Amino acid sequence: MMHMKKNLIRTLQILGLIVIILTVTYSGFSVIIYGSSGRFPVKRTLFPPVRVRNLIWPTIGYPALVAPGSSLEAEFDFNEIGPGARTQEDRPSAWNAVLTPSRQALEGLSYKLKAVRAWKAVSSRWPGGTSRGGPYQVWHAEFKIPAGAVPELYDLTVEAQAPGRKLSDSQKHAVSISEKISDDFRFITLADIHVHRRNITGIAQRQTNKGISPEGKPIFFENAIDQVNLIKPDFVVLLGDFVRAQHAPGDYQIEFANFFNALSRFQVPVFTVPGNHDQYVNEVDGSDIWEESFGPLYYSFDVARCHFTAANSYEWPNSDRIVMEKLGFLVYPRKWQGQLKAAPNEKDINSYAGQLGWLRDDLAAHVGSKLRVLLIHHDPYSPGGEGDSWKNERFFGVYTLGGGGTGAKALERLVSTYHVNAVFSGHLHSDNMGQLDWQGGSPGTTLYANQTMVYFDEGGIQKKYPGYRLVQVTDGKMGRVSYADDKSSIPFYDGSVPNGETNLDLLSRPALSALTLAAAGRAAGAATAVPGTGVSTLNGWLVKNYLRIPMELKGLVFEAADSKTTYSVSGGQVYRTVKVPGSNRVLLYVRVNVGRGIPGASAATPGIPRQVKVLVRSQASAKTAATQKAAVPHN
């Protein structure tokens, strides 16, 4: 009996010692994991250039959508970095602007504009709470778009003459002129692009090099842009996480430069929405870089009678956004999940302040719009009402990190109260769809469409693939937003498997492509890849579609050397002809409808594409025909 008692005491002592060791170990690791040790430097050692200086709207990430004969109201700040010691000029004496096509083939075409009127007031594009928002005042200058302006994407330069100085500033891809702005349009959403450096994979964070050139160029993003340009929607929305900025100090500047350089490849206007990675603090504060590069962190815009609201779902303090390295292999900020602040009572929308208060007012002011869409990185609903983009994540089965922020329920309440038709989001790198009923007695639901990523993530075999959503709006009503089922994104590559497993390492065949056809002298029907310049002696395209849905492509442009010649197109239709000023050249914009293909069952098994040969013929001499040029628009 005494022996058993001694054994019991010894066992209890051992168990007590184990408990003490585990408690001390847990406490020690808690100090490391939850503490501020291992922070990356926050000194801005390499300055990305400030791209939003004086011309603060429109910008490359917040463009203007206008029609010929309409007005463009540009906003101009005489202070490059926003509110400061220097006051705004009181009496600028002259305002001028120049629109220059972004498409290289239209070089020589430009429109010089004079301001109809100018006035100083609070910005109508930068909400209060953003760096150029009210009560700070900026200059507004109204310009008239020429009635005969060619529908295209344009760079904008605005020049202001003030007493004793003249300021001029430009924004690339800032103005999109369409034949008309109506409730019928198409747009594409992309999420989680994650331009990154090579060789950054680690024990806790896997990351493939696939799609990144040895020089660090994001080839995967360029390939995605080429397919978007081929479709040529009316605009594109990028739903956040453009970089990773989470491996080593200085990553942000390098990755952001590579992303921004690739952004100019788009031949359609792009609206940008911030994600968590975009606002990490890694030598630089990403939220500052965002506003210095694209515009406000949150804003809204209209397409005819359809309203779009872009929100910033990563409202964490600076200390929670600083990237840290722990134990030599864990690299993360304290918070990466969603948060919207300033909701003392999430059940009472009248209590909302800050961005939530602005969202309430913006949505309330547009409740009568034909279509209401919220664009955001963190989805408060998906998957299935769980709101995973707001929750903490568990590590080692013990530690919870990353989330626990406020605002998810407040956001859902705003969306249902003001009858938002759809919420498009990213962050989870997967496709999810769900619906919530509207409040207030009106019949209707909000569609929550969360979507996959653009890059190849960690590689290997995954239940996801690079893709996008293509949304057709007709008379202010959205059509189908999924691919071939009720939730999937459209894949960028043949062999992607919706609702199944995809070998990301083997993906290589573009789901959509247009190869240029050789002109006279080459074998009949031979196809060649488009050279880097996008221009060569060619007479059409071989269009391929591996997708299981038909596609309408509007991004083919044929450059002909003789504007006096009559041209005919087989396999497509010319929907616009543009004479290039100062030359004999003419551009033919061609629409192609290509039927559904048969996708490969896996990345290793090629599908059977539907093919359309588009030929452009002239009635001129063979010599003239041989000088024709074709270009697939990806410059």
Tell me, what CATH number does 118's domain have? Answer: 2.60.40
Q: Could you tell me if residue 26 is inside a domain?
A: no
**Residue-level pLDDT at 627:** 45
State the pairing for strand pair 586-594/299-303: unpaired
**Residue-level pLDDT at 545:** 98
Residue 582 near residue 108, CB atoms below 8 Å = yes
Residues 498 and 524 in one domain: no
Q: Is residue 114 pLDDT above 50, yes or no?
A: yes
Say which DSSP state 403 is in: -
Domain of residue 151 covers 55-176
Last residue of a domain, one of 441, 475, 502: 502
Residues 493 and 560 in one domain: no
What does the pLDDT average to over 542-569?
92
Q: Is residue 587 pLDDT above 70, yes or no?
A: yes
Confidence of residue 3 (pLDDT cuts 50, 70, 90): low
**Residue-level pLDDT at 527:** 43
What does the pLDDT average to over 141-164?
95
In the structure encoding, which two tokens stand for residue 11, read together? 């066992």
What Å distances lie between residue 507 and 100, 437, 470, CA to CA? 38, 39, 21
With b for 16 or more beta-carbon neighbours within 10 A and e for fewer, the 312-346 pattern comes to: bbbbbeeebbbbbbbeeebbbbbbbbbbbbbbeeb
| Residue appearing with tokens 């605009």 | 235
Residue 423 near residue 398, CB atoms below 8 Å = no
Residue 212 near residue 218, CB atoms below 8 Å = yes
List residues bridging with 112 in a β-sheet: 98
Residues 160 and 298 in one domain: no
In the structure encoding, which two tokens stand for residue 405, read together? 């922020």
- Of 474, 48, 427, 394, the closest CA to residue 234 belongs to 474
> CATH number, domain at 413?
3.60.21.10
Q: Is residue 605 pLDDT above 80, yes or no?
A: yes
Which segment of 87-91, 103-107, 465-469, 625-629 scores lowest on mean pLDDT?
625-629
Confidence of residue 18 (pLDDT cuts 50, 70, 90): low
Q: Is residue 615 pLDDT above 80, yes or no?
A: yes
How far apart are alpha carbons 369 and 356 in whole angstroms?
20
- Phi, psi for residue 190 in degrees, rounded to 5: -125, 145
Last residue of a domain, one of 159, 176, 193: 176
Tell the burial category of 153 from Cβ atoms under 10 Å away from its Cβ (0-12, 13-18, 19+): buried
How far apart are alpha carbons 3 and 12 in whole angstroms?
14
Q: Is residue 259 pLDDT above 80, yes or no?
A: yes
Orientation of helix 251-263 relative to helix 286-293, angle to 10°: 20
Q: Could you tell me if residue 12 is inside a domain?
A: no
Residues 196 and 168 in one domain: no
* pTM listed for this prediction: 0.91
Q: Could you tell me if residue 486 is inside a domain?
A: yes
- Of 244, 248, 196, 241, the closest CA to residue 218 belongs to 196
Element at 607 (helix H, strand E): none
What Å distances lie between residue 54 and 94, 140, 246, 270, CA to CA? 15, 12, 31, 20
Handedness of CA 80, 82, 84, 86 (dihedral sign): positive
Residues 543 and 430 in one domain: no
Q: Could you tell me if residue 152 is inside a domain?
A: yes
Taking only the tens place, the pLDDT of each residue in 304-357 is: 999 999 999 999 999 999 999 877 667 889 999 999 998 999 999 999 999 999
Q: Could you tell me if residue 39 is inside a domain?
A: no
**Residue-level pLDDT at 582:** 82
How far apart are alpha carbons 491 and 190 in whole angstroms?
11
Residues 217 and 166 in one domain: no
Higher local confidence (pLDDT), 168 or 627: 168
The count of domains in the chain is 3
Confidence of residue 189 (pLDDT cuts 50, 70, 90): very high
What does the pLDDT average to over 124-149?
96
Q: Which of 172-186, 527-541, 582-596 has the highest mean pLDDT?
A: 172-186
Taking only the tens place, the pLDDT of each residue in 436-494 is: 999 987 899 999 999 999 999 999 999 999 999 999 999 999 999 999 899 999 999 99
Q: Is residue 53 pLDDT above 60, yes or no?
A: yes
- Of 488, 145, 209, 201, the closest CA to residue 329 belongs to 201
Q: Is residue 626 pLDDT above 90, yes or no?
A: no
What does the pLDDT average to over 251-267?
95
**Residue-level pLDDT at 628:** 46
Q: Is residue 131 pLDDT above 90, yes or no?
A: yes
Q: Could you tell me if residue 46 is inside a domain?
A: no
Q: Is residue 528 pLDDT above 50, yes or no?
A: no
Q: Is residue 86 pLDDT above 80, yes or no?
A: no
Residues 392 and 273 in one domain: yes
Residues 222 and 153 in one domain: no
Q: Could you tell me if residue 40 is inside a domain?
A: no
Full DSSP string of 455-486: S-TT-SEES--SEEEEEEEETTEE---SSSSS
Percent of residues, the chain, with pLDDT higher than 90: 72
Confidence of residue 583 (pLDDT cuts 50, 70, 90): confident
Higher local confidence (pLDDT), 330 or 268: 268
List residues bridging with 284 in a β-sheet: 282
Residues 334 and 456 in one domain: yes
Q: Could you tell me if residue 1 is inside a domain?
A: no
Q: Mean pLDDT score of the chain, rounded to an integer?
A: 88
**Residue-level pLDDT at 337:** 97
Element at 34 (helix H, strand E): helix 2-34
Which segment of 82-91, 120-129, 222-231, 443-452 scores lowest on mean pLDDT?
82-91
Q: Provide the CA 152 distance to its chain's centre, in angstroms.
A: 20
What does the pLDDT average to over 611-620?
86
Residues 286 and 426 in one domain: yes
**Residue-level pLDDT at 10:** 75
Q: Is residue 531 pLDDT above 50, yes or no?
A: no
Q: Is residue 65 pLDDT above 60, yes or no?
A: yes
Confidence of residue 526 (pLDDT cuts 50, 70, 90): very low
How far apart are alpha carbons 274 and 456 in whole angstroms?
20
Q: Is residue 55 pLDDT above 50, yes or no?
A: yes
Orientation of helix 354-365 relative to helix 408-417, angle to 10°: 10
**Residue-level pLDDT at 561:** 81
Residues 157 and 112 in one domain: yes
What does the pLDDT average to over 581-587?
87
How far apart are alpha carbons 257 and 69 in whole angstroms?
36
Residues 235 and 201 in one domain: yes
Last residue of a domain, one of 176, 202, 220: 176
Spell out the residues 6+ positions from residue 254 whose beta carbon is closer than 8 angstroms to its own: 197, 216
